[in-house]
């Protein structure tokens, strides 16, 4: 699907204004070619942002997007390294039925814990953490300021962590 000219021009302007800063941020954590990839992906994602024309994009938003991409890249690399190590040591992954059962138990446990959050906290955690929405997208969806989304997400995650800690303490 072609990108509307107004959207392309907006992203081009963001690219011209902020590319160097986003690249320099990524370069602090990554080799040059990977930092280049992350910086370019940040602006490619801006093209896909639903309400790009209605929202104000700041450098902090672009850097946070780059930070999230770097973290995802690192986590993906860690998962891959664990898989390579398991292959080297001859460990076999759990049979699919066991993995599905564990996933079902985990899903049920998470649903139980999530039900203890307020409606706002639950919606925010689901949108931002589970669905990968940006704070701005979640704020627009819920009709609240971004700072409120940040607060709800923080409180929701704190409650989930506290419950996880209580469960672990009870098990020991």
Structure confidence by residue, pLDDT tens digits, 61-116: 999 999 999 998 888 888 787 777 777 787 765 566 666 676 677 777 777 888 88
User: Using the 8-state DSSP alphabet, how is residue 3 labeled?
Assistant: P
Please check the confidence at residue 168 and state whether its pLDDT lies above 60: no
Q: What is the longest distance spanned by two Cα atoms in the chain?
A: 60
8 Å CB contact between 156 and 121: yes
Task: Compute the half-sphere exposure of residue 128: CA atoms within 13 Å on the CB side of its CA.
Answer: 25
Full DSSP string of 4-67: PHHHHHHHHHHHHHHHHHHHHHHHTTS-HHHHHHHHHHHHHHHHH-TTTTTS---HHHHHHHHH
């Amino acid at each position: 699907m072609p990108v509307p000219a107004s959207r392309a021009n907006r992203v081009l302007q963001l690219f011209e204004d902020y590319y160097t800063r986003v690249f320099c941020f990524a370069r602090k954590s990554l080799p040059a070619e990977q930092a280049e990839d992350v910086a370019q992906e940040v602006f490619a994602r801006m093209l896909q942002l639903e309400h790009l024309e209605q929202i104000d994009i700041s450098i902090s938003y672009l850097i946070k997007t780059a930070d999230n991409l770097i973290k995802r890249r690192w986590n993906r690399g860690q998962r891959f390294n664990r898989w390579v190590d398991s292959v080297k040591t001859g460990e076999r992954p759990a049979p699919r039925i066991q993995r599905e059962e564990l996933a079902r138990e985990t899903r049920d446990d998470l649903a139980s814990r999530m039900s203890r959050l307020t409606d706002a906290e639950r919606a925010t955690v689901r949108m931002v953490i589970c669905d990968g929405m940006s704070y701005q997208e979640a704020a627009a969806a819920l009709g609240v300021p971004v700072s409120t989304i940040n607060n709800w997400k923080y409180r929701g995650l704190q409650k989930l962590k506290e419950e996880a800690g209580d469960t672990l303490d009870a098990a020991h």
